[in-house]
Amino acid sequence: MKVLVIFTGGTIGSTLKNGYIGTDDGAKFALLEPFCAEKDTQFETTCPYTILSENLCAKELNILQSSVGEGLKKDCDGIIVTHGTDTLQYSAAALSLAFGDCKKPVILVSSAYPLDDERANGYENFRAALEFIRRKISGGVFVSYKNEDDAKTAIHGGSKLLLHAEGQADLESIDKSPFALFDGKEFEIFLTAQKNAPIGAVEYVENPGILLVSSHPADDFSHYSLDGVRAVILNPYHSATLATENKGLKSFCKKANKADIPVFVSVARNDAGYESTRLFDELGITALPYGTIVFSYMKIWAAISKNEDPRYAFSI
């Protein structure tokens, strides 16, 4: 089995020095060392950039896309991308948009702590990714991650990841439905986990002009400038509701509509809506198709990067 490993930094490629976590070239070799003795496994490695993932920008996304695209042309059985946890969901969504239907597995792995920390899950995440490739389970883009209190490592569809819960590194798929679970020996596959159709690689622009607004009480919206904004995404409460009686929100939406700036609301649940959601149309708010806010953000960023109206990215 031949595996291409693309190193990009992150906690999985870092060590603790003088009380701070920072990237360390030696961590790359520490990750591979336990697996190099396996006679049926050959690794090819590349390191197109090294960052802590909170610093992810368009430049790195474009380099990562290019590296994965070139890797898929190589004589290998699959690709493992090491990545930081902070923006893991965004890179996974971008790679899903670009290569979601690829025949080889592309799997992002990360670690909640540096590998020399006994709490690290990086080795387990890497092992699950390696076995997924070895067993030729599926092509496409995935994320391998073992949550802190879970007995099994989850294989998530790259476009299905929710944002982290506050202060937590654990990962969850939308509907709590990962693609597969690995118990260290066998995979349990969930056929209900569908993959999104890709749109191909995109040259992401550095400043897409996306205003992402979270929901919280007493927000009068007066401090949100629309200068240079190409699209607005409202992140609703967990019940997919917005404060539609808020005069500030009404005024903000009216201003955006007048400037022909689309205002979207992300919808991460597919059951019955609350009464306040009926007012979305009146306010000129477009409810996005059921999915994660990360995937919606990346799809809108991709559309803007291609100089397209983001409304058409969702066939709305």
Hey, which bits of the chain come out as E strands?
Answer: 2-7, 14-17, 20-23, 42-46, 78-82, 105-109, 140-145, 153-157, 180-182, 187-189, 210-214, 231-235, 263-265, 285-287
CA distance 30 to 12: 10
User: Do residues 293 and 269 lie in contact, with contact meaning Cβ atoms separated by under 8 Å?
Assistant: no
CA distance 171 to 174: 10
30 in any annotated domain: yes
Do 136 and 218 share a structural domain?
no
pLDDT of the residue at 272: 47
pLDDT digits (tens, 9 = 90+) for 63-121: 999 999 999 999 999 999 999 999 999 999 999 999 999 999 999 999 999 998 999 99
- Compute the average pLDDT of residues 20-24: 74
- Mean pLDDT score across all residues of the chain: 91
pLDDT: is 172 or 194 the higher one? Answer: 172
149 in any annotated domain: yes
Residue where a domain stops, chosen among 189, 223, 245: 189
CA distance 34 to 115: 12
Do 220 and 165 share a structural domain?
no
CATH value at residue 244: 3.40.50.40
Do 238 and 173 share a structural domain?
no
* pTM across the whole model: 0.93
Burial of 280 (0-12, 13-18, 19+ CB in 10 A): buried
197 in any annotated domain: no
C-alpha pair distances (Å), 313 with each of 209, 211, 287, 297: 16, 17, 13, 11
Which residues partner with 121 through β-bridges?
A: none
Domain count for the chain, please give it: 2
C-alpha pair distances (Å), 65 with each of 48, 62, 141, 178, 196: 11, 5, 12, 23, 17
72 in any annotated domain: yes
Range with top average pLDDT, 13-22, 34-43, 162-171: 162-171
Do 243 and 179 share a structural domain?
no
How far apart, in Å, do the first and last CA atoms of the chain sit? Answer: 44
Which residues, 6+ apart, have CB-to-CB distance to 181 below 8 Å? 152, 153, 154, 155, 187, 188, 190
Do 82 and 168 share a structural domain?
yes
Which residue range(s) make up the domain with 41? 2-189
pLDDT of 284 over the 50 cut: yes
Counting residues of the chain whose pLDDT is more than 70, the rounded percentage is: 93
CA distance 309 to 81: 31
pLDDT of 124 over the 50 cut: yes
pLDDT of 283 over the 70 cut: yes
Which residues partner with 106 through β-bridges?
A: 79, 141
CATH value at residue 98: 3.40.50.1170
pLDDT digits (tens, 9 = 90+) for 215-245: 999 998 999 999 999 999 999 998 888 998 9
Residue where a domain stops, chosen among 123, 158, 189: 189
Do 243 and 170 share a structural domain?
no
pLDDT of the residue at 196: 65
Which residues, 6+ apart, have CB-to-CB distance to 176 below 8 Å? none
pLDDT of 2 over the 70 cut: yes
pLDDT of 316 over the 50 cut: no
